[in-house]
Structure 1
Amino acid sequence: MDLKLRGKVAVITGASVGIGLAVADRFAAEGTHLVLAARQRERLETAAQSLAERHGIQAVAVACDIATVEGVTQLVDATTDAFGGADILFNNAGTGSNETIMTAPDDKWQAYWELHVMAAVRLARGLVPLMKQRGGGAILHNASICATQPLGYEPIYNVTKAALMMFSKTLANEVVSDNIRVNTINPGLVLTPDWIKTAKQLSSETGGDWEGYLQQVANEHAPIQRFASPEELADFVVFLCSERASYSVGSTYFVDGGMLRTV
């Protein structure tokens, strides 16, 4: 299936590893030029160079912190300078949390709010006008199954991802008349480096069987009884951002191996 993405420009946050990097690779394979954002400059630049060489596309690395006004401004300016704008935004940057509501300080709540919600707000303000100039575009927010089915150990993550999902729906209603489609993806268990790191830490005192630990997690939460690969999620992301999903507007898609326990 031709996704008609060749020559388009995609901005991807959290792009140097895991889901973001897998999505970047899938876009590049379709001939899409890339603006890649992450905080770790060396890893990001290495990824951008590799993608450009393997797929024959242009890939611009922008080392920035999108949880800040300055970081978003840097990313929007770099996109404008390199390509004059963008056709696609995959809002992916984010991370889990670990706290209780009773003990989490205000500054931790604020930090996650800036990363998961305000980054999306500011990137929309910066990139939507550029998409309008190009005749439209697509924005996809990477939230989480936790936005509707919370995990008990990360209340801040649950709350901010739920807010991101509602922001996405609201933005969709506002910009659809400009031929800009906005949607949300809510992944379940995806085998990212963060999951592997956590599993190794938690299993270190009980024999170090981190793979067994992850299998237990999958058995408990996902009827499919395994984690998704980042590449599996990336295929879905790229499709949703393509013209082949042209009637998908303001929706939330669960890609979770059956983890969601309701309809």
Structure 2
Amino acid sequence: MNLGLKGRTAIVTGASVGIGLAIAEGLAAEGTNLILAARGGERMAAECSRIAGTFGVTATPVAADVATEAGVAAIVDAAKAAGVDILVNNAGTGSGETVLDAPDAKWDQYWDLHVKAAVRLARGVHPLMKARGGGVILHNASICATQPLWYEPVYNVSKAALLMFSKTLSYEFIKDNIRVNTVNAGLILTPDWIKTAKQLTAASGGDYEAYLQKVADDFAPIRRFGTPEEAANLFVFLASARASYCVGSTYYVDGGMLRTI
């Protein structure tokens, strides 16, 4: 299927690993040029070099912390030079706390990373997309935005706020032919999941794979984790002209984890 993405330019944040890297590779495979942002500049530069060589596209690395004004400004500056048609807000991370023990600083940290980054980037790319006749903004939220896990209230709340921001933004931006949608992923086997599983099982023999299988058995009817590529496939489709009537919606890639309709 020709997705009509060849020659387009996409920003992907949190792009050096996991879902973000898989999205970058999926877009590159369609001929999309890339502006890839992550905090780790050396790693991002290496991945950009590899992607450009593999897929024959332009891949520009930006070392930036999207939770800061300066980080967002650096990404927008790169987009001003290259132009931008697609923005994938992917940067984010899980948490672990209770409401009673989480300090204000942690709430602020996750609000800046999951919500304010999306707000600032939307303001920054809007005039650039409008000048090109439109564009696409996709937010990587989480199933936890609607079906929270008890042990990460700060993550749950900030991702729910991102979901509402995405819906609200879609109303405002569609008049300029900029489509906004959200993807809520379930259990996707990223390096963070593996790292956490190894830490949790270190004292009991280190069978992290069995731990992960139990998580999948407990939460996902499909009884396995998804791959970053499986999540990325949905983002790539939603970024394309094939999804031209998709506006202001939330799409799940969760192996049946969502327990409501």
Q: Which TM-score tier does this pair reach, normalised by the shorter chain?
A: over 0.9
Aligned positions of 1:82-101 closer than 5 A:
83=82, 85-101=83-99
The Cα offsets for residues 164-189 of structure 1, whole Å up to 9 and x where unpaired, read as 00000000000101000000000000
Q: Which consecutive aligned stretches of 4+ in structure 1 deviate over 4 angstroms post-superposition?
A: none
Partner residue, 1:183: 181
Match of 1:229 among 214, 217, 227: 227
Matched residue type, 1:60: T
Deviations 1:173-216 (A, max 9, x none): 00101000000000000000000000000011111111110000
Letter of the 2:244 partner, please give it. Answer: S
1:68 alignment partner in structure 2 = 68
- C-alpha deviation, 1:80, in angstroms: 1.1
Matched, 1:171 2:166: no
When the two chains are superposed, the root-mean-square deviation of aligned CA atoms in Å is 0.5
Distance across 2 between alignment mates of 1:201 and 1:249? 40
What one-letter code is carried by the residue in structure 1 that aligns with 2:135? G
SS in 2 for 1:34: strand
1:78 to partner: Cα distance = 1.3
**Aligned counterpart in structure 1 of residue 244 of structure 2, from 246, 251, 260:** 246
Partner in structure 1 of residue 2 of structure 2:
2
In 2, the alpha carbon distance for the partners of 1:88 and 1:169 equals 17
> How far is the alpha carbon of 1:68 from its aligned partner?
0.4
Q: Distance in 1 between matches of 2:181 and 2:3?
A: 17
Q: TM-score, normalised by structure 1?
A: 0.99
Paired residue total: 261
Measure the CA separation in 1 of the matches of 2:78 and 2:126.
Answer: 15
Pairing 1:54–2:54 present? yes
Percent identical among aligned pairs is: 66
Gaps of 5+ in 1: none
Report the TM-score when normalising by structure 2.
0.99
- In structure 2, distance between residues paired with 1:17 and 1:208: 24
Are residues 1:153 and 2:151 paired?
Answer: yes
Unaligned runs of 5+ in 2: none
Post-superposition Cα deviations, 1:202-260, rounded to whole Å, max 9, x if no partner, equal 01111111111000000000000000000011111100010000000000001100000
